[in-house]
Structure 1
Amino acid sequence: MNRRTLPALTALATATALLLTGCGGESSDPDDKIAGAGENSAEASASPGEKGAGDGIDRPEMEFPGDMEVVLDWGQPSEADQAAALHDAGEYMTAVNYGVEKQDPENAAYKFYVVPLSSAHTFAKDMIKKHVDAGLTGTGALRFSNGKVKLSESGNTASVTFCRDESKYFNKEVKSGKVHKTKVDEKSYYAFTLIMERAKVPKGLWRAKDIAGERGASECVGV
């Protein structure tokens, strides 16, 4: 299967659309994602990662209701910058879903993990707003796995790739509580690339700058 490299904003639109129509829904999306940057790479170990970063950064708290769980099913690379970039990529994706849960396109949690006015910022806001406009939130277990990191030569940006598993995650109507359960197939799995940027302050934080996603990614099925 051939994959094209897209400009960030085109990939952004694809990622936003595919996630809104995800959770088992039908959609036709191009096979697109942005390329990674840099030479140095690491793959997270198979053991689940720690819940907190332990870096002293005052991070936003995110608590989900009992019927919703975000699982970051990866370990941390041994190299400190790669570990930090992967951790904060996971926190960014968690924060986007937290904004959906809170039905708040201006939620402070995702803003903490984005470069202001970047495509990752736009993606988060648009995804939350589309769910709010549709009267939808999420329920079930949303799992992220197979995290890999590439640092740029400068060490100030990193490409983070990972899989998103929606086989146990579904849309739920906010007003009625009705759950839209659908069959699990290849379209329940996604491959994502995030470009993370080292923040000047606070020290140790990485923020999402660009994002792209591919729905029905065969490399993410069963991972």
Structure 2
Amino acid sequence: MNRPARHVVAALTVSTALLLTACGSGGGDDTSSDNIKGADGGGEKASASASAPTSSSDGVKRPEITLGKEFHANFEGWTNSDPKLQAILNDGREELRSEYAAVIQADLNSDAVAFYNSDATLVTAHKWIRQFVDDDESLIGSVTVYRSQVHINDGGSGVLFYCVDERKASTKNRKTAKITTTDDKPENVLQYRNKLDKSPQGVWKTTSSTVVPGACG
């Protein structure tokens, strides 16, 4: 069965129910209860895909994340005029990129993945990465990340929704070079519903996440 890039580790051979909880422990109940209606839809639309930040205005030293030449994560419209909301977007983006990079590099103990995840979501992230590594697979092609919606809820947590189109991404076996493509189906466009909390160090760490296949229309 075809495996979209983000969910190879969650294995599409399992049920959709597992896919819906694969993004993080702690469940999606807190995140899903934060109604995104009325949230900023990403602010100004970027004309080009966002690149990894090379410096941080908040003084936090963040890990450098490299995806390599065979895989690209294109972030569209990933900007917001509010600096606080932009900070959530930035760290939410790097959390996603860190897991892609860990898979590509077969890094079971990625410092970057730990940097952007809470203890709860880190457990699931490690399971994702291990399944890739156990299958000796990497990622090639590209994903498009778009339609970001972000706000801060009454409890001070960041709520970040976004879509990921994985239909142009594939997996590649490191030994055999066999490529497994992703089906061009609506369910391979995923909506992420994440909650992030700001750490004492000033990093917006992902604390819970739910993925809904096909929810981006």
TM-score clears 0.5: yes
2:104 alignment counterpart: 101
For 1:181 and 1:175, locate their aligned partners in 2 and report how far apart those are by CA, in whole Å: 17
1:21 Cα offset (Å): 6.7
Unaligned runs of 5+ in 1: 1-17
1:138 alignment counterpart: 139
Contact 1:68 1:139 in 2 (8 A): yes
Decide which of 5, 9, 16 is 1:29's aligned counterpart. Answer: 16
Identity of aligned residues (%): 17
For 1:46 and 1:124, locate their aligned partners in 2 and report how far apart those are by CA, in whole Å: 30
Alignment CA distance shift 1:103-1:28 (3 Å) = same
Per the normalisation by structure 2, the TM-score is: 0.80
Decide which of 73, 96, 109 is 2:76's aligned counterpart. Answer: 73
2:7 alignment counterpart: 19
Query: Counterpart amino acid of 2:8?
Result: L
Contact 1:96 1:110 in 2 (8 A): yes
Q: Paired residues, what number?
A: 196
Unaligned runs of 5+ in 2: 1-5, 21-27
How large is the RMSD of aligned CA atoms in angstroms?
2.5
1:38 Cα offset (Å): 7.2
Alignment CA distance shift 1:85-1:182 (3 Å) = closer
Contact 1:37 1:151 in 2 (8 A): no
1:111-138 deviation per Cα after TM superposition (whole angstroms, max 9, x unaligned): 11112x21x2122111101111122111
SS of 2:167's partner is strand
For 1:36 and 1:197, locate their aligned partners in 2 and report how far apart those are by CA, in whole Å: 16
Per the normalisation by structure 1, the TM-score is: 0.78
Contact 2:78 2:146 in 1 (8 A): no
For 2:142 and 2:84, locate their aligned partners in 1 and report how far apart those are by CA, in whole Å: 28
1:216 alignment counterpart: 214
- State which drifts further: 187-196 or 146-155: 146-155
For 2:167 and 2:98, locate their aligned partners in 1 and report how far apart those are by CA, in whole Å: 20
1:84-129 deviation per Cα after TM superposition (whole angstroms, max 9, x unaligned): 11111111011011110111221111111112x21x2122111101
1:64 alignment counterpart: 67
